[in-house]
Amino acid sequence: MKYLHTLLLLSLSQPASSIAFFQNNKKTTPKFSASNLISSLITDEKCFTTETGAKTFVDSCATNIVYEDCYHPQPFVGRPAVEEYLKEKVAMRKGKGDVRLDKISDGSKACGYAWTYTCDNLEGLRGTTFVELNENGEIVYVREIPEPIFKPGDLTLDLLKAVTAGAEPKQLPDFTPRNPKDANDVVKYLFNEVQGRDVDISLEMFSDDIKYRDFNYDEILNGKAEVKKFIEDFSFPGIEFKADRFDDGVLSTCFTWDVVLMDAPDTIKGISFYELDPDTRKVTYVRDIPESAIKPPILGKLARQLRPGLGVFDPVPFGSREGGM
C-alpha cells in the first residue's frame, strides 16, 4: 500500500504536459491486421481452392469491393460479382492442387503477398496480390497479377524505348536525401522522391546481396551490380513508374503501380513486393510483376486449361524455388 501511495503522489505531482506526453506516446495496437486476415483466408480457409473458403473470403469483403485480377480484362465489382468470380476460380482448378503463400508483408491496413500454385510434388504458376482494407477491416480492394508464361526479356525494354523515342527529360524538383527505415517508407522514397535521379542514390537503399525478381525475365538478378544495370536500363526520358497504392508494412511491403509512357492515356499496371533486412533496413528482396497486354493471355489461358492444378506448361519440383522465387 505504501508503494501504491508513493506512486499516486508522484503521478499527481507531474505537470499535465508530462502526463499528456506519455499518453500520446503510447504504442497503439492496430485495430485490424490485413496480413493476419489474408494469411488465414489462404492457409486455413483455402479461399482459392474450395467453395466454402471462397464464401468466407466474400464474407470478409466490403459491399463495394473491387477485385482487379489482371488476368481478366475488367475488374469484378461488388460482393455478388466477386463471389461468382471466386467460385469460377475454384472450379477451374478442378479439385487439383493448392495455393501456397510464399511471402506476405506485415501491413495492417493493407498488405501484399507472393503465391504459387502447387499440386502433389510439383509447383507452377506464381503471382503477387495486393489487398487493402477499409476502416471496418473489410477487404475493399484487391489487385492480383499472375506471372507471364512467356518471359519477353529485353524485348520489353526495346519496345518501351521505341514508344518513348524523342521524349525530353523532365525537370525534377529539389531533392533532400534521407534514410527511411520502414519498408513502406523506403519504397515511397525510391519511387516518389529518388526516381529519375542518379541510380547510385537508389542503390544506397539496397543490400549488397540483393535478390531482384522481375517477371519480364527468366532469371533472377543477384547483387548490386546486376540490379544497377537493370535500373539504368529502365531509366530514360518518357517513362515513369507511378506508384499508386501502398501498404503500411514495416519489414516488408507491397504496392501497386502504373507504367506511364509520355502522355499516353493507357498505362501498364503492376505490383511490387519488397523485403528489408531487419537489422540494416536495406532492401534484400524485390519482386516486380507487370500485367499482360492481352487478357486473358493466350499462353496463360491454355496452360490453365491443360494443367489446371499448376497453371504452367513446365512445372518444377516442389520446394525447388526458395520463397517462390
Domain check: are 204 and 227 in the same one? yes
Mark whether 318 and 269 lie in a shared domain.
Answer: no
Range of the domain at 83: 34-149+295-324
Whether residue 178 sits in one domain with residue 275:
yes
Question: 270 pairs with which residues across the strands?
Answer: 257, 290
Instruction: State the Cα torsion 69-72-74-77 to the nearest 10°.
Output: -40
Who's near 83: CB < 8 A, 6+ residues apart? 54, 55, 58
Instruction: Compare 286 and 168 and report the one with higher pLDDT.
Output: 286
Q: Let me know whether 80 and 135 are in one domain.
A: yes
Say whether both 211 and 273 belong to one domain.
yes
Residue 313 located in a structural domain: yes
Does residue 137 form part of some domain? yes
Read off the CATH number of the domain in which 57 is found. 3.10.450.50
Q: Please indicate, yes or no, if residue 55 is contained in any of the structural domains.
A: yes
Answer yes or no: do 84 and 174 share one domain: no
Count Cβ atoms below 10 Å from residue 296 Cβ, excluding itself: 16
Give residue 44's identity as a one-letter amino acid code.
D
Residue 47 in domain: yes
Same domain membership, residue 142 and residue 164: no
Cβ contact 247:110 at 8 Å: yes
6-56 confidence digits (pLDDT tens): 333 334 344 444 434 334 444 556 788 999 999 999 999 999 999 999 999
Domain presence at residue 203: yes
Q: Is residue 28 part of a domain?
A: no
Report if residue 11 sits inside a domain: no
Does 279 lie in the same domain as 253?
Answer: yes
Residues 48 and 119 in one domain: yes
Number of domains in the chain: 2
Collapse the DSSP code of 212 into the 3-class scheme (helix H, G, I; strand E, B; otherwise coil) and give the result.
strand
Same domain for 259 and 301, yes or no, is no
* Same domain? 207 vs 264: yes
Beta bridge partners of 117: 99
Give every CB contact of residue 80 below 8 A, 6+ residues apart in sequence: none
Does 168 share its domain with 269?
yes
Of 36, 212, 201, nearest to 108 by C-alpha is 36
CB 31 within 8 A of CB 248: no
pLDDT in tens, 189-240: 999 999 999 999 999 999 999 999 999 999 999 999 999 999 999 999 999 9
What are 280-315's pLDDT values in tens digits?
999 999 999 999 999 999 999 999 999 999 999 999
Of 18-22, 95-99, 117-121, 243-247, the range with the lowest mean pLDDT is 18-22
In a domain, 193, yes or no: yes
Are 52 and 45 spatial neighbours (Cβ–Cβ below 8 Å)? yes
